[in-house]
Structure 1
Amino acid sequence: MKSRLIVVASVCSLLLGLLQSCKLDVTPRDRYTDVTVWANENNAKLYLLDQYSVLGDFAFGTMPLGYANNTDALTDLIKNTSISSGNGTANMVAFNPASITAANPTFSYWGTGYTRIFAINNFLNGTDQYQTFSDSTTRNVYHAEARFLRAYVYFWLVKLHGSVILLEKPVTDNNNPRSSEDECWNFIARDLAFAAQYLPETRATADLGRATKGAAYAMLARTWLYAASVAEYDKKQYNSDPLTGVPTAKAPQYYRNAAAAAQAVVDLEAKGVYQLLPQFTSVFSTKNNKELIWGFNYIRPSLTNTFDRDYAPPADVPAYGAKGVPTAELSDAFEMADGRSFSWTNPAMAASPYRGREPRFYGTILYHGGSWKGRTLNIATGTDAYIDYGSVADPKRTVTGYYLRKYVDSTNVDPIRNAGEQQSIELRYAEVLLIHAEALAKTGQYAKAKEMLDKVRKRAGLPGVTAASEADLMAAVEHERIVELAFEGHRYWDLRRWRKAHIVLNNQRVHGHRPILQADGSVRYEVVDSDKQDRFFAANTYYIPLPAAEIVNNPALSQIQGW
């Protein structure tokens, strides 16, 4: 709304003008002011709701490179098909992490993150200063929601940089130092604990997507798990900055904190708030289901995504599709339906590699001979056929012999005309169970850790794990996080927090399975190199540098050592 500001004032006499200046204290009507926003409860609520756009920054694993699924494309789960900048940036970083510099951090969320923190702090400060809410109960609920969102932003900043600037109030000066990584994790945890205390367990239909008690506890469990992992695995091996890292002695307590927060979410299952859906595929095709804890809702036509256009097989979307595709490493990780490990050395399995696999395989990956939108996928010949990586700059076809299934809408027959509206999931109950299992394993509660793992596996129709030691349970946790959470943006960050990215990714390549039709009508699968060069993870990138421009602009801010 625009209005003309009309100010009528008396003319100051010449004498008074010589003795003192005239001052007009007028509330402008052509812009929003503090009074306009914070003195009106409804305006303040609308301001807070606007902060949920933060989820769009991370939908479908967009961070850290600005394209959906780029997070998993930095790992062994997804291969981006392009060799060009933009669609192929993840490949460039995976091959050459030296492209990450202080002048161009590549993974930077600093500017956007602090813009969002400033806005949230404005809400917290303004609503207190102007006593926006009529009672303390209402105030606490809305402040809990704001602090949840602030914690979420800080979680991402700390994942990237470790040591960042902590701000609880709006600041106008640019003279703020970094806090230690341990202080940062505890700051996030305090915000989330406050949120868990005051947020409601459920939301009305009109408010679905807003933070809840379960979302706060789930984020708290994830936060403490990350802090504990850094405390256990980092040990100042990869960065000498005095503010990065978490004291090793704190790992046991932080794992216990993670287990306690996860248990609080499990307790909500007993109250009927959450559950694992009976069918794995329903989690991604049914909006606002009981497994979802927090996600980003898209609704046609006002708010849509391009996921179907970018990741469906190319026959679905001529001139688009297949920006990223699953790897052979991921495909092989899925077990047989009876719980046996899949192996190409098993003649029966190799003869029919996509028959008799566990249900999560079919809900995650499209493969040669599979059924898709009323047709049988032909990845040997035709529009959907395999193409060698690097033979075309931006092929928009599979370079591994596979296409994405998870998140792609099988009912969307025209992804160009009908932009996507599937829900991007940030937190779901299965992840919480896996967090719980890991934290319990780390605190010696092996039987209960196994129970949490087995709940996830039971939904997939698989037998329970046989693990009975911390090492075996951790191997089982990593496996389940790969196959259960594929394409949900966890693998890269798991490898980082476990400080094993340089082990898993260095001097490695991802592969594919190219289907080749035989004269007798059968299909032979050829293992193909889908990278054509070795990957490399530089250990110094466990801590991404702060943007160099911020160091120049903030005299109190120092660069992370090593950058």
Structure 2
Amino acid sequence: MSISFSIIKKTLLAAGIVVAVQSCKVDIMPTDRYTEEAVWSNPANMELYVNGMYSEFKTFQFGVFPIGYDNATDALSDIEKYTSTVSGNGTVNILATDASRVNAAGPQLNYWQSGYTRIRRLNEFLDGLAKYAKVDETGKKQYEAEARFIRGYVYFWLVKLHGSVVLLDNIGQYLTTNHQRAAEEDCWKFIAADFAYAAENLPKQWDAARTGRATKGAAYGMLARTWIYAASIAENDKKQFNQDALTGVSAGNAQTYYQNAANAAKAVVDLANEGYYALETDFNNIFTNKNTKEAVFKLDFVAPQLTHNLDLGFAPPADAPGQCLVYGVPTAELVNEFEMSDGSKFSWSNTTQAASPYANREPRFYASILYNGASWKGRTINTTPDNVAEGFTEYAVTTEPRKTVTGYYIKKMLNPAVNNFVVNKSVQSWIELRYAEVLLIQAEAKAKLNDVTGAQDALNALRNKRGLPNTAASNTAQLMTAVEHERIVELAFEGHRYWDLRRWRKAHTVLNNVKFTGHKVTPSGASFKYEVVPCDNVNRQFTPALYYIPIPVGELQVNTALTQIKGW
């Protein structure tokens, strides 16, 4: 007798089905229920099941994880400020300023249960595929590759959070509920193995009927992302922040993992050279063009069946008076990062630049930020405090201001062509993996391998397409400064900054004991005065313990072999 399955509930994108799956082998096929063999030997069921597994990516669309609001992950960092002060809309502010709110008893930053539920379903699928599937060998490998791509992604998030987690890759392991965590390094290797298998067996492109499925390029891109995380932790952690025996990655393997990241990134670049991917000339166009070649892996939305609320959450108030929520806004720290149009660094100490701080900035600035004087949907944005509709308001004076608390609004990813998003919602694609990120991974890995020319080439390919000159960085330290800068401005509001600071082990300095800022703009004669003002009312907190999020205490109670991460 094989393992006994519980009823499997599968919510699919294409259809909803609930089947009772019996695992006992009998001579006569029961007629009042579905058997494992009947379910998994039906090609239509296989297709529906694997389609349904892709819904896991919606958990992370537009940076919604872990707070439950779009872009909330970036609001844990230095590039975005959420406007609310109260639990719910303002939960991200509470977490960013009170490290004690993250604990083993609390629900914050918790993906454990839902992640392992998805892993269970994927392992059931892989088991049925191996035993009963009636598809050819190529089809079987492709199905396995898709399932392992999704499983690798789920584990990637679990390991980003906890470092050391339980590894489950076959259904036989579910005969017992008692499993200890694996070493963090083994976890990264496990994830890499899933993405490597997917890269080997997925097609470069699917036919029109299967558009949106994982491809060879997506798998190589995720493999590159996996190895750059493992390499960063190997280099920067060195057991400085947690003494758990199972956390950490061997520092001696950093160079190997950087090379692995560079190799995987090159595989995506090779596909780009074949015409599958490319950088856009118009940065604005990337996020509203469903056919953009920058998208290596994305989620598409189609009204009215499948929509989201990005515009409702982040559009400036006058787009839909009284209804826009204005969850989060850019910080001055982010705004200051954008270069001048000639590639020089912006500085408030430069009197010419300070007099007109929004003039002659690089193209990504105008595509990402709405500032005082910006043109938007036929009007001029006015963020001066006297503007009732969408002017500056001090943070924490009102619990739900629904206006900017930094003097800026987010423009990136909003749809400039619509104002009916309150009723019709939004359909911009969520790009989980962009070709620009792959080039930045390649640049970082090459810099760490002391391949200065290779790192420069990757950075310059991106910068030149964004209308900027070649980087001036000429050694590893300078190149890493350049990479961090490019990741801030290129990937802003795409959910990377907080996790970058964590993997570089910079979060406890950048995000701790500091208040981030905005710019209060007021009329001054024929021009304006720009005043730096705090957008935090208390200091941010990031303690070293937060590099490894605790396992929810309830999981320790149901899995008696599982131990808590040391320090929690």
| Same-fold call, TM cutoff 0.5 | yes
Alignment of 1:532 onto 2:532: no
User: 2:23 maps to what in 1?
Assistant: none
CA distance in 1, matches of 2:147, 2:335: 40
> Structure 2: how far apart are the matches of 1:562 and 1:503?
19
User: CA offset at residue 426 of structure 1?
Assistant: 0.7
Partner of 1:150: 151
* 1:482-493 paired onto structure 2 within 5 Å: 482-493=488-499
**Does the 8 Å CA contact 1:105/1:546 hold for their aligned counterparts?**
no
Aligned to 1:360: 364
Letter in 2 for 1:362: Y
Task: Report SS of the residue matched to 1:83.
Answer: coil
**Separation in 2, partners of 1:28, 1:523:** 79
Q: Which residue of 2 aligns with 1:183?
A: 186
Cα displacement string for residues 315-334 of structure 1 (whole angstroms, at most 9, x for unaligned residues)? 11323231100000100100
Structure 1 position 66 matched with structure 2 position 88: no
Per-residue Cα deviation, 1:490-543 (whole angstroms, up to 9, x for no partner): 00000000001001111111111111123x342222111110211110100100
Q: Secondary structure at the match of 2:550?
A: coil
Q: Residues 161 and 28 (structure 1 numbering): CA distance in 2 closer, same or farther, change over 3 Å?
A: farther
Q: 2:352 aligns with which of 323, 333, 348?
A: 348
Maintained 8 Å contact 1:437/1:477: yes
Where does residue 39 of structure 1 map in the other structure? 41
Q: Contact 1:412–1:418 (CA<8 Å) still a contact in 2?
A: no
- Percent of residue pairs identical: 51
The question of 1:417 aligning with 2:419 is answered: no
TM-superposed deviation, 1:33:
4.3
Q: Which amino acid aligns with 2:446?
A: L
Aligned to 1:123: 125
Partner of 2:331: 327
Are the aligned partners of 2:323 and 2:422 in contact in 1 as well (CA < 8 Å)?
no
Check whether the contact 2:312–2:323 (CA below 8 A) recurs between aligned residues: no
TM-score by length of 1: 0.94
1:10 is matched with which residue? Answer: none
Whether 1:472 aligns to 2:478 is yes
Structure 1 position 550 matched with structure 2 position 567: no
SS at match of 1:315: helix
Distance in 2, matches of 1:99 and 1:341, equals 37
What corresponds to 1:9 in structure 2? none
Give 1:382 shift: 2.6
> What CA deviation, in whole Å up to 9, does each residue of 1:392-425 have, x standing for no partner?
0011100000001011111121211120111111
Equivalent-residue separation in structure 2 for 1:296 and 1:428 (angstroms) = 12
Match of 1:253 in 2: 256
Please give the alpha-carbon distance, in whole angstroms, between the structure 1 residues aligned to 2:501 and 2:60: 19
1:24, distance to aligned residue in structure 2 (A): 11
1:26 deviates by 6.1
> Which amino acid counterpart does residue 98 of structure 2 have in structure 1?
N
- 2-structure distance, mates of 1:148, 1:483: 28
Q: Secondary structure at the match of 2:424?
A: coil
Q: Equivalent residue for 2:392? A: 386
* Structure 1 residue 32 displacement after superposition: 5.1
In structure 2, what is the equivalent of residue 312 of structure 1? 315
Residue 269 of structure 1 is aligned with which of 250, 267, 272? Answer: 272
TM-score between both structures, scaled by the size of structure 2: 0.93
Are 2:507 and 2:542, in contact at CA under 8 Å, matched by a contact in 1? yes
Q: Which residue of 2 aligns with 1:513?
A: 519
Contact residue 308 and residue 321 of structure 1 kept, 8 A: no
Spell out the pairing of 1:419-434 with structure 2 (5 A cutoff): 419-434=425-440
How far apart are 1:28 and its partner, in Å? 5.5
Is the 1:228–1:254 Cα contact (8 Å) retained in structure 2?
Answer: yes
1:242 aligns with 2:242: no
* Deviation sequence 1:351-407 (CA, Å, 0-9, x none): 211111100001111011101111111111130111100000011100000001011
Q: Which amino acid aligns with 1:208?
A: T
Residue identity in the other structure for 1:299: V
Task: Give the CA RMSD over aligned residues.
Answer: 1.6
* 5+ long unaligned stretches in structure 1: 6-22
1:211 and 1:24, CA in 2 relative to 1: closer, same or farther beyond 3 A?
Answer: closer
Shift of 1:105: 4.8
Instruction: Give, in whole Å, the separation in 2 of the partners of 1:97 and 1:559.
Output: 18
* 1:560 alignment partner in structure 2: 565
Distance 1:25 1:41 in 2: 22
Q: Which amino acid aligns with 2:339?
A: E
Give the ranges of 4+ consecutive aligned residues of structure 1 lying more than 3 Å apart after TM superposition.
23-26
Task: Identify the residue that residue 166 of structure 1 maps to in structure 2.
Answer: 167
1:545–1:559 CA contact under 8 A, matched in 2: yes
1:97 is matched by which residue type in structure 2? A
In structure 1, how many angstroms separate the alpha carbons of the residues matched to 2:483 and 2:392? 32
Query: Residue 105 of structure 1 contacts residue 545 of structure 1 at CA under 8 Å; is this kept in 2?
Result: no
Opposite residue 374 of structure 2, the aligned amino acid is G
Query: What does the per-residue CA deviation read over 1:169-203, in whole Å, with 9 as the maximum and x for residues that have no partner?
Result: 12243111111001100001111111000100012
Q: SS of 2:242's equivalent?
A: coil
Confirm or deny: 8 A CA contact 2:184 2:247 kept in the other structure: yes
The one-letter code matched in structure 2 to 1:90 is V
Equivalence for 1:440: 446
How far did 1:205 drift?
2.7
Equivalent residue letter for 2:353: M
| Structure 2: runs of 5+ lacking an equivalent | 1-15, 21-25
Q: Distance in 2 between matches of 1:68 and 1:310?
A: 8
Read off the aligned partner of 1:288 and give its amino acid letter: N
